[in-house]
Amino acid sequence: MSTDVDQPGLRELDSRSGDGFEVTLLWSERTGSVYVSVEDSREGGSFQFAVDPAEALDAFRHPYAYGRTRGRDAVRGAEWGAAAA
């Protein structure tokens, strides 16, 4: 989860891993925004998306379903720094 830890002002609220996936719930001290980060070590990819704080736990538990059904814009790994700042 090095991509997320390197972002200043982001605090990890929760994380889980299994079957090659790592999902992390993050909160920005500066903006109050909440993000879900997904890393797939099997495919070598990652993405992150902002989430309404009231729906953060649901998005953390079901990041693929949540992002697709609610039309969230996912940010790929290389763009993450600018999006979280």
Domain of 67, in residue numbers? 2-84
How many domains does the chain divide into? 1
CA 29 to chain centre: 15
Average pLDDT over residues 13-24: 95
SS3 for 23-68 is EEEEEECCCCCEEEEEEECCCCEEEEEEECHHHHHHHHHCHHHHHH
Check residue 64 and give its pLDDT: 84
Task: Record the pTM.
Answer: 0.73
**What was the pLDDT predicted at 75?**
55
- pLDDT bin (cut points 50, 70, 90) of residue 48 is confident
CA distance 24 to 45: 14
